Each structure stands twice: as structure tokens, then as C-alpha cells.
Amino acid sequence: MLPEHLRFSVHNGERVHLGITGSVAAYKAVELLRMLQELELQVSVTLTEAAARFVTPLTFQALDASPVYHGMWDGAESAFGHLEPAQEARCLLVAPATANTLAKMAHGIADDLLSTQALAFTGPVVVAPAMNPRLWDAPATQENLATLRGRGVRVLEPCSGRMACGEKGKGRLTDLRDIVAHCLKALTVQDMAGTQVLVSLGPTREFFDPARYWSNPSTGIMGGALAMAAWMRGAQVSVVHGPVDIWLPPAVSYTAVNTAREMFTACTDLWPAQDVGIMTAAVSDFSPVPHGPEKFKKRSLNSGEFTVPFAVNPDILRTLGHTKTTGQKLIGFCAETRDLAGYAAFKLKEKRCDLMVANSIASPGSGFGSPTNAVTVLDAHNRLEEWPVLPKAEVAWRLLEWLVHILR
């Protein structure tokens, strides 16, 4: 299943044509198909003769891929199957792609159905190679990849590891999430190309002793969705994140931190080079004064009471807002239990943001750990909107639509 921060609905109903070639990794195309369908994309499929030795066309037909092509001359679907993907699909995705198929695509050879479809296709093309490391490293393969990249084909390089043959090296099919993400990007208008975007996400942990810390339940889903949406739209994205498990494309830059002060340093260091800051992180406003390097023992208490002094952490959002240049835009988030509009208005002005998003952490289906959010959004021109409970990916997309309008 796809994680929540990848579940964008903006391309619902659009068609992707999936080409599958004769790699051992062909079986992974079944799960890849399901992931694409989770996004409500229409998926048609072509299997090469070699791919059909690993997984049958019937498998994809049973999973509602339509149409499913196989042989050049079988006539099962259409007399013009070699042309239909170019007429119907928005994106051609070849995964896994063998060295043989890459060579055909690079040199315009059209001797089977998939290579003919690829030659005729005029839209965005994504290829995810999978092969033995020797085939990947071969000069001919690398020259073919350079040719394809020069034509604008998105090449998702394979991972390193142990191969089916027992050898180790670079050749394993990349993460399916990366393939889906690049497919979404290929379908998306690049209206944030050339924009540098900084996103903070997740909680911070403020340690009292080696065993205990002060924190919150943030999972980083909202920030992950915003980072994904900005990357899909062509932005260069840098993420500063607390202790969360959020997958993002390898093209996104990561800085991992634990404490609020570490996040403050990372964000302020990166901020001067950014065009946009989106601060979704649930930063601890206070941190306990550390007990020390040893674990605190309750037997050291003289009574049943236990008091821990707290220190105020630096305000990241306010610092970025008060140091931003004329061209920089800043989006802030605040988690509230009541009066979302009032707190959004106060914090928008006090922290000098361009957009403030107040999300309810008291309403069902909203806030920490939830795949959905209910938010109130206010900008510096006093435009105010209250959105119902929506998937966080949908909230992220709407916010970036708002941001792109501001940037224009």
C-alpha cells in the first residue's frame, strides 16, 4: 500500500501505460500496478514475450489493467495497439526495463510491440532499469542511458544489493514508491520549477535524561505530503525532520535532527538560500532542564512529588519570518484546540508569515497521526478559508495551489 503522503488525487482518471520487460523483477510490476490503481489512475499494460515468461498477461487482466497487450500480432485488443498508448496515455512507464529494451528505445528499434509503442509515444517517459550489474555497467548500456536522458527520459537508477543470480552490485529495481512518485511527477505541471523549498516536519524530542524526553505525537504526514507536492511540481526540496519514518524521493535533500535547537540551527542555516519555507514541524516550545548523563532514579526523591524545570526553546518560525527577504515566502502551521481563525490571525502577523495554517487537534480525523486534517487557512491579504476534513495530501495540494498563486 502507498503511504498517506503519496495519495494524491489530482490525477484521478488519467491513464498510464505500463511496459514490462523480461527481468526477474517483472513480478514486482504486479504490486506496481496496484499502487498506481490506488491513486485511481487508469493503467494499460504491455508485456514483452520475455516478460510473459515471468508473469502472464492474464494476471494483469485479472487485476483490471485494460487493455493488456502482449504479442505484436495477437490482435487481442486492437489492430492499432502499437499506437494507442501514444493516443490515450499521459505517461509511458517501463518497469522493469532490461538492457535490451533500453537499447531498442535509444536506437529507435521497433521489432516488438513495446518498442514500437515507445517509439510512437510523444509524452513523458519514465524507465526503471533492472538487470545484472555487469549489464548495467556495460559501456553500451551507459551510452544508451545517456542518449535517453538527453531526450528527456526520466531514468530511475537501480539499487545495489544481492541479485537473483547471487552476484552483488547495482542492478536491483528501485523502490516501487520511487517509481510511483516519478510517475506522478511526470503527470504534473512543473509550475514550481526552479523554486527552492524548505520543509520542516515531524516532532522534536527534548531529553531530560538518557531514558526520558518531552515530545508530541506528530508523525510528519502533513509535512511529507507538502514536500512531495512541491517536488512533484518541480521544486528543489530540502527537508529538516525530527524522529519520524517518512519516505521521500532520493532527489529530496534530508537533514535529520532530534531537538528543537538542532532544528533551529538546520532551518536557519538553510533559509537564506530558499525561496519558500513551509514549517509544519511540531516543535517543542519548551525543553526540560537536563538531569545529566545518568538516568534519574525515583528513589532519589524525598517525597512523592517530582518537579522538572523547563527552558524556552528558540522560535524557528518567528526567526525565519523576521529574517526573510522581500522575495521569500513563508507558510506557518499551528496546532490548536479552539479558535483556529483567531490564533491563525495572531500568529500570521506576529511571525510575519505569508500564509498561516491552523489545524485542529481536538476534532475527530484531524491533527497528529491522522491521515486527514481539518484546517483554517489565512494569508497576508486577509483571505480566509475553512476547509473540512480532507486527506492530508489533498490539503497539501490545495496549499501549494494557493502558494503558486501568491508567487505569481
The CATH number given to whatever domain includes residue 47 is 3.40.50.1950
Q: Rounded to the nearest 5 degrees, what angle is found at the Cα of 167, between the Cα atoms of 162 and 171? A: 60
Domain for residue 316, yes or no?
A: yes
C-alpha cell recorded at residue 162: 544481492
pLDDT of residue 325: 96
Q: Are 161 and 235 found together in one domain?
A: no
Whether 315 has a binding-site annotation, put simply, is: yes
Q: Are 148 and 63 found together in one domain?
A: yes
Beta-ladder partners of 279: 200, 332
Q: Are 105 and 169 found together in one domain?
A: yes
User: Which residues participate in catalysis according to the annotation?
Assistant: 165
CA-CA distance, 327 to 221, in Å (whole number)?
A: 28
Which domain covers residue 133, as residue numbers?
4-187
Query: Is-contact 93 179, C-beta < 8 A?
Result: yes
Query: Is-contact 141 99, C-beta < 8 A?
Result: yes
3 state SS of 352: coil
Q: How many CA atoms within 13 Å lie on the side-chain side of 24? A: 9
Whether 314 has a binding-site annotation, put simply, is: yes
Only one residue has cell 485479472, namely 62
pLDDT of residue 251: 94
CA-CA distance, 217 to 220, in Å (whole number)?
A: 9
CA-CA distance, 222 to 60, in Å (whole number)?
A: 33
Which residue among 187, 218, 239 closes a domain? Answer: 187
Q: How many CA atoms within 13 Å lie on the side-chain side of 4? A: 18
Q: Are 272 and 358 found together in one domain?
A: yes
Q: Are 149 and 212 found together in one domain?
A: no
Q: Are 255 and 319 found together in one domain?
A: yes
CA-CA distance, 76 to 72, in Å (whole number)?
A: 10
Q: Are 158 and 30 found together in one domain?
A: yes
Q: Are 204 and 324 found together in one domain?
A: yes
* Radius of gyration from C-alpha coordinates of the chain: 25
Residue 117 CA to chain centroid, in angstroms? Answer: 29
Number of domains in the chain: 2
Give the pTM: 0.94
pLDDT of residue 77: 53
pLDDT of residue 347: 96
Residues in the chain, overall count = 408
Measured from the Cβ of residue 298, the count of other Cβ atoms closer than 10 Å reads 7
CA-CA distance, 321 to 383, in Å (whole number)?
A: 19
Domain for residue 143, yes or no?
A: yes
pLDDT of residue 241: 98
pLDDT of residue 79: 53
| Residue type at position 364 | P
Q: Are 183 and 222 found together in one domain?
A: no
C-alpha cell recorded at residue 92: 509511458
Whether 168 has a binding-site annotation, put simply, is: no
Domain for residue 301, yes or no?
A: no
Query: Is-contact 387 397, C-beta < 8 A?
Result: no
CA-CA distance, 275 to 237, in Å (whole number)?
A: 10
- CATH code of 255's domain: 3.40.50.10300
CA-CA distance, 232 to 230, in Å (whole number)?
A: 5
DSSP code of 190? -
Residues 6+ apart with CB under 8 A from 151: none
Whether 170 has a binding-site annotation, put simply, is: no
Residues 6+ apart with CB under 8 A from 56: none
Whether 295 has a binding-site annotation, put simply, is: yes
Domain for residue 304, yes or no?
A: no
CA-CA distance, 219 to 368, in Å (whole number)?
A: 7
Q: Are 252 and 388 found together in one domain?
A: yes
One digit per residue, the tens of pLDDT, for the chain of length 408 reads: 899 999 999 999 999 999 999 999 999 999 999 999 999 999 999 999 999 999 999 999 999 999 999 877 665 455 566 677 878 899 999 999 999 999 999 999 999 999 999 999 999 999 999 999 999 999 999 999 999 999 999 999 999 988 777 788 899 999 999 999 999 999 999 999 999 999 999 999 999 999 999 999 999 999 999 999 999 999 999 999 999 999 999 999 999 999 999 999 999 999 999 999 999 999 999 999 998 888 988 877 777 778 899 999 999 999 999 999 999 999 999 998 899 999 999 999 999 999 999 998 888 889 898 999 999 999 999 999 999 999 999 999 999 999 998 887
3 state SS of 339: coil
| Residue type at position 99 | A
Domain for residue 236, yes or no?
A: yes
Domain for residue 14, yes or no?
A: yes
CA-CA distance, 234 to 194, in Å (whole number)?
A: 7
C-alpha cell recorded at residue 53: 515468461
C-alpha cell recorded at residue 298: 525515583
Helix axes 99-107, 139-150, angle to 10 degrees: 50
Whether 346 has a binding-site annotation, put simply, is: no
Which residue among 187, 210, 228 closes a domain? Answer: 187
Dihedral pair phi/psi, residue 114, rounded to 5°: -65, -45
Q: Are 236 and 176 found together in one domain?
A: no
Domain for residue 306, yes or no?
A: no
Which residue among 187, 218, 252 closes a domain? Answer: 187
Q: Are 206 and 146 found together in one domain?
A: no
Of 352, 333, 390, 222, nearest in space to 344 by CA = 333
Query: Is-contact 384 376, C-beta < 8 A?
Result: yes
Burial of 177 (0-12, 13-18, 19+ CB in 10 A): middle
Q: How many CA atoms within 13 Å lie on the side-chain side of 76? A: 14
Domain for residue 262, yes or no?
A: yes
Query: Is-contact 166 132, C-beta < 8 A?
Result: no
